[in-house]
Amino acid sequence: MCPTVVLAADGKVLVLGDSLSAAHGIAPEAGWVTLLQQRLDASAAPRRVINASISGETTAGGLARLPALLKEHAPGLVLIELGANDGLRGLPLTEIRANLARLLTQVRETKARAVLIGIELPVNYGPQYRDGLRAMYRDLAGEFNVPLVPFLLEGVALDAELMQDDGLHPNAQGQPRLLDNVWPVLKGEL
């Protein structure tokens, strides 16, 4: 059970992610992070969303950028959506885990809350690596007592109509589903 932390009405939401959150291959206004901003704008307590996601970003890259982002924006909530590019490169799970743990620690040190957003890899990476990656997100969420979105692309990744031709990135039609995957976890933190 996560402790109750009330995010100030003006608390900013920082999204630190990779191409999945940076609207790769589609118009930025169609991406799930922009859709999140629109949903929050229409809510009773709107908040500003800062999308610090970069296509190709790794956990190491996020780790290098996060301190300056935290200082500049002073967010109340940080959504961490990283690890896909590390996994696609076959980096050791211990390295990915250590970087994500350091990211979560940095967020905690600022008294902001974090939400961890997990990913999964294509089946050709083998069950041992894929299961290890899945377990890593779950274990980190438990260890740091943060909410977890188990798989950002749930219900999207295997639907060709919702994916771009590369088979890795959702198209504009898939973006609302990504927000729907994040929203049930996120709304509890807002």
151 sits in which H/E element: none
Strand partners, 77: 13, 113
Which tokens in the block code for residue 37? 């901003």
Catalytic entry in 41, 43, 166, 180:
166
Whether 166 is a known active-site residue: answer yes
Return d(Cα 105, Cα 29) in angstroms, integer: 31
Catalytic entry in 18, 19, 21, 53:
19
* All residues at 6 or more sequence positions from 64 whose CB lies less than 8 Å from its CB, including other chains: none
Return d(Cα 187, Cα 40) in angstroms, integer: 10
Whether 169 is a known active-site residue: answer yes
Burial letters for 104-141: b for 16+ Cβ neighbours within 10 Å, e otherwise? bebbeebebbbbbbbbbbeeeeeeeebebbbebbeebb
Catalytic entry in 18, 21, 24, 169:
169
Which active-site residues does the annotation give?
19, 166, 169
